[in-house]
Homo-oligomer: A and B are copies of this chain.
Amino acid sequence: MNIAILTIGDELLNGDLTDTNTTAIARTLLEHSLPVHEASTVGDNEEDIVAALQRLASTHDVVITTGGLGPTDDDRTTRAAARAFERPLSLNDKALTQIRAHFSSRQREMHPRNEKQALLPGRSTVIANPDGTAPGFHLQSKRADLYFLPGVPPEMLAMLDEYVIPSLLKRFPNPPARGQRVMSVFGLSEPEVEARINGSNLPDGVELAFNVDFPMVQVKLRARGENVQKLLDRAELSVQKALGDHVVGIDSDTLAGTTARILSTAGLTISLAESCTGGLIAKLLTDQPGSSAFLERSIVTYANSAKVNCLHVARKILDHHGAVSAECATAMAKGVHATAHTDISLAVTGIAGPGGGTVDKPVGTVYLAMTSPWQERVERFNFSGNRDQVRLRTACTALDWLRRLAMSRLSGEEQER
């Protein structure tokens, strides 16, 4: 069963917008063991859309398109579909009713331009859009089922879940099981990860692939056929043995999500003092619902006055050692610890760049300090990369410190019992 994705829109080809729909569709399909074979992108040009639709529909069983169903003149997908498969457009009553209902339920006026979105190709089925104005449609060519969805990601995903997946599973009721397990790794390079894993015993039938999602390395385990999940479980265990605590998450777990979960489970509270990361560590932790269980505060002391004022860092530390120093990081961590009364406090100070570097402390020089009843820790790092990379790597290192400390508290408590 060959599935193709076609994303439509000039903004995808002129650098304005990144195609996140292909990723989201592919992820969802793979959860149902439906693999994507190919993805293409064309602009809002009727000829190009027609050509792509005809090519993909002749070489694939399923084509899922996104984009070009909007109310403005540059939305051309529906007309292209009608031309590609010779199905004249006509006003679809069901579609028009849905569009009208969408507006009235939000007590808003329907703009006359929205009526265009109810003109659909003949012999196509409306796909309801629960969150937006553009209904989608499902059309069958000689070989292929084609599903036309809007480009707006939350709308597209809702329609994928509610109509397209059930429709696909009706056509392909027992897709040969495929499974994938993704393991996120922090603190090792890609060749280091591969080398450590190749020493371990992966079960037969499990394929391995690697990916860098800065600053993580992702290990992808893939298997097919009978007992897919069992195979993947065994492979996961082998890789876990090979990589130890460097594994920070499985599948959609992120380093931040894992850290949040372990902090909550361990019942630990934390406070942060951020300089060069400018709020990024707190932002990553508060991306997780329920972070209020452990995050009490983050003091973003971007100016030295804030370090002195909020965190009581002694002026002479700034004068003698500078804001980017082990002494300052330690003073910041102790400063927030003294007022927040959390279990753990962590501080970061550094030079994210592009400016601000010196010979002794080049761009990428970062100090982390962490204080708790169980350990004091301060360390200097020399991170490479641009401003965003230095900030992100710093934030991830901080999360990793918190994660490891929380893990050791959890296992320590277990040992005490």
Contacts and interface: CB of A to CB of B under 8 A. Distances in A.
Interface in A255-303: 271-272, 274, 277-283, 285-287, 289-292, 295-303
A20 interface: yes
Contact of A37 (B13, B211, B306, B388): B13
A275 to B, nearest CB: 9
A228 interface: no
Interface of A: 9-20, 22-30, 35-44, 48, 52, 70-74, 111, 113-114, 152, 154, 180, 182, 190-191, 194-195, 208-213, 218, 220, 271-272, 274, 277-283, 285-287, 289-292, 295-303, 305-306, 309-310, 339-340, 353-355, 385-388, 391
Contact of A12 (B39, B42, B290): B39
Contacts of A297: 299-303, 306, 309-310
6 contacts: A13-B36, A15-B23, A111-B195, A278-B282, A278-B286, A280-B286
A373 to B, nearest CB: 19
Contacts of A291: 278, 302
Closest 4 CB pairs of A and B: A15-B27, A278-B286, A279-B279, A279-B282
Contacts of A29: 15
A119 to B, nearest CB: 17
Main secondary structure of the interface of A (DSSP, over half): mixed
Given A111-B191, A279-B283, A310-B310, A37 B48 contact: yes
Nearest to A36: B13
Contacts of A37: 13, 43, 48
A14 B41 contact: no
Contacts of A296: 302-303, 305-306
Nearest to A310: B297
A157 to B, nearest CB: 11
A390 to B, nearest CB: 12
Contact of A299 (B40, B154, B310): B310
A22 B19 contact: yes
B40 A38 contact: yes
Nearest to A152: B212
Contacts of A195: 111
Given A15-B27, A16-B182, A19-B18, A354 B38 contact: no
Contacts of A388: 287
Given A15-B27, A310-B310, A44 B209 contact: yes
A184 to B, nearest CB: 10
